[in-house]
Copies of this chain bind each other. A is one copy, B any other.
Amino acid sequence: MENTEIWLGSLITKTPQEGRELAIKMARKTIGAIQSDPEVKKRLRPQYAEDAGLLVASAEVVALEFQTVAAANNYWR
Give me the interface of A with B, judged by CB distance under 8 Å.
6-12, 15-17, 20, 24, 26-27, 29-31, 33-35, 37, 40, 44, 47-68, 70-72, 75-77
Q: Hey, which chain B residues are within 8 Å of A30, CB to CB?
A: 20, 24, 58-59, 62-63
Q: Is the CB of A77 within 8 A of B72?
A: yes
Q: Hey, which chain B residues are within 8 Å of A77, CB to CB?
A: 12, 72
A72 to B19, CA, bound (A): 14
Q: Is the CB of A52 within 8 A of B51?
A: yes
Given A55-B34, A55-B35: A50 in contact with B40 (beta carbons within 8 A)? yes
A41 nearest CB across to chain B (Å): 9
